[in-house]
Chains A and B, each alone.
Chain A
Amino acid sequence: MFRYIVRRLLQMVLTFFGATFLVYALMFANQKDPIQALVGERPVSESQRIALTERYHLDEGFFMQYWYYMKGVLTGDFGTSMTGRKIYDMMSDAWPVTFRLAIIAIVIAAAFSVTAGVYSAIKRGGIFDNSTLLITLVLLAMPIVVIAPLAQLIFGIQLGWFAPTATRDATFYQLLLPAIVLACIVIAPEMRVTRTSVVENLRADYVRTARAKGLTRMRVIWVHVLRNSLIPVVTLIGVDLGGLLAGAIVTEHVFNIPGVGFNLARAINTEDGPLVVGFVSILVILFLFINLLVDLLYAALDPRIRYE
């Protein structure tokens, strides 16, 4: 077990550098004219161009830029965004609210998809099964650029059930609608996985044994089957965090939440290399640790799995 964790940690270091390097390379390739992007449509004077080029090492080669950046990160300095703000400050502003949003979304998604997934697995082919299949397909087919504004419009403005916008220090209730929207992205796959998994397990021998022992159907399903079916779902939920953050870019924009997704979108748009890589670095680390955690949890849930 210990060796396994050490090996995983080493792999994570490798992945971390690989991913940040790739992102940096992408930003570098994307950089056509960050200075113009910074000022929008205004003309840029030559001396302004020279000064900014110097300040952000834009005239250096790709590897030098990456080196400057990594040197900073490893000494705990994420550097300065092209807007002039410290990236560390921007991150400590942005992360908490996105984190809360993502957790609410994951809990909602998990609660809904596990319940609905189990139920449609039991009533396979029934009305509930087919209608949830249809609903999840609709969610899947709708890009988030459509779902988010529609939800805001219908539930936030016309019905007035939720606050139409949220702020950095939003309450739980203010974050609920954006979280539901965000959950929509992952509900479809999570539910399908739960359903498949439960269907498989319902046919397993141990279920027949348990039923033969005289246990009630409900007890067999909710205790025995579910525990065994949860394994793939747990994996999925952990890994979904990455997907949630992709969706957060649009959701945060629509609901006016100044979180990670919003900052990332803005940084990509203004070709703000250091800022993008800063946020992505943390994202990658989170993603890697959650993956490790999920794998360890996996072993805990399923005694057949042993790492060495």
Chain B
Amino acid sequence: MSDLNTVTAAEAPGGQPNVPHGRVKRDKPRSLAGDAWNDLRKRKMFWVAIVMVAAILVMAIFPTLFTSADPSQCALSNQFKGPAGNALFGYDFQGCDIYAKVVNGAWNSIKVGVLSTLLSGVIGLLFGLAAGYFGGWVDAILSRFVDIMLGVPFLLAGIVLSRRLGGDPKSDGVLAVTLTLGLLSWTSGARVMRSAVISAKQQDYVAAARMLGATPGRLMLRHILPNSIASYIVLLTLLLGINISSEATLSFLGVGLKNGAISWGIMISEGTQFARSEPWPLVWPALFLGVTVLAFIMLGDAVRDAFDPKLR
């Protein structure tokens, strides 16, 4: 949703990476990334996050390692039954095995979340870089466009876009939802990137590099981008969680995943219906979604702390 819009546009002024100047030019430069990696390796939180993300990815890609049950075989006679045998988490309203569904739903949820976040990350990056670096009329046009995008209600744009993109009656809707979320959620990132670039651009080391004859492309890629990207990455990890749960909202409205596709989002919106008497069908997918988002945010935080020397 649009909650995060400009969140960290605000975060930017305070939290700018501010690399000490001396490091920029050396014979054998120790790159920022190299420094960050050295730092990261020592962080416990980083490794915990890595293990969590890895576990989730393994589950998403190889669900059969975790369960052999077919999540689409459901019988009403099992409705709301407690855990039994292989069905570790019990059964839902339709009598489906919740454990099998959670494990098998990971793939779609992660796919939608990661891909749409990547897409919006790339769009936002390009927009923010261009607007921040060139300034002037480029910035004016791009910024107006971002303003306009922010003025459009997410729900409306989401419904229209995914309806348009998801016209194929046979598809499961993953592509349509991914594109929709990606195309709609980049605005906050673009704003953050823009202000980060603007403040990086004013740093002395950039001026120095420019005077030494660096081309705009090199300036952007080698100097401005690495120093502006930290807060951007954090934003994207937040966005990932939001996108995974936005998929639920779209599916809830009938423009999301369809034709029998399974995802945590769909499970959550189904589980809400009877949460009053039977909370478990809601709790399990919500828990997995929460842990996944947490893992990615922890990863993002660790990376950002490593990249931001001020916080070391």
Contacts and interface: CB of A to CB of B under 8 A. Distances in A.
A246 B154 contact: yes
Q: Is the interface of B mostly helix, strand, loop or mixed?
A: helix
Q: Of residues A192, A233, A242, A265, which shows the largest number of chain B Cβ atoms within 10 Å of its Cβ?
A: A242
A208 to B, nearest CB: 14
Nearest to B248: A143
A277 to B, nearest CB: 10
A19 B1 contact: no
Nearest to B7: A189
B24 interface: no
A305 to B, nearest CB: 9
Nearest to B290: A141
Contact of B5 (A30, A137, A199, A239): A239
B242 interface: yes
Contact of A141 (B152, B286, B311): B286
A76 to B, nearest CB: 21
Contact of A264 (B3, B13, B155): B155
Given A30-B159, A137-B293, A287 B151 contact: yes
B299 interface: no
Contacts of B156: 23, 26-27, 30, 264, 268, 276, 280
A203 B18 CA distance: 14
Interface in B224-273: 238, 241-242, 244-246, 248-249, 252, 265, 268-269, 272
Contacts of B154: 246
Given A145-B252, A197-B11, A246-B154, A18 B148 contact: yes
A193 interface: yes
Nearest to B311: A199
A36 to B, nearest CB: 15
Interface size on A, as a range, is 35 or more
B6 interface: yes
A150 B272 contact: yes
B111 interface: no
Contact of B1 (A18, A246, A280): A246
A98 interface: no
Interface string A17-28: 011001100110
Give 10 nearest A-B pairs by CB, closest first: A19-B151, A232-B10, A18-B148, A284-B151, A243-B3, A235-B10, A143-B245, A189-B7, A141-B290, A197-B14
A137 B238 CA distance: 9
A143 B151 contact: no
B131 to A, nearest CB: 14
B241 A141 contact: yes
A231 interface: yes
Interface string B134-162: 00000010001101111111111101100
Contacts of A141: 241, 244-245, 286, 289-290, 293-294
A181 interface: no
B98 interface: no
A153 interface: yes
Nearest to A28: B160
A179 interface: no
Interface in A272-308: 276, 280, 283-284, 287-288, 291
A149 B269 CA distance: 11
A265 B155 contact: yes
Given A19-B151, A193-B7, A242-B2, A153 B275 contact: yes
B148 A243 contact: no
Contacts of B59: none
Contacts of B3: 185-186, 188-189, 240, 243, 246-247
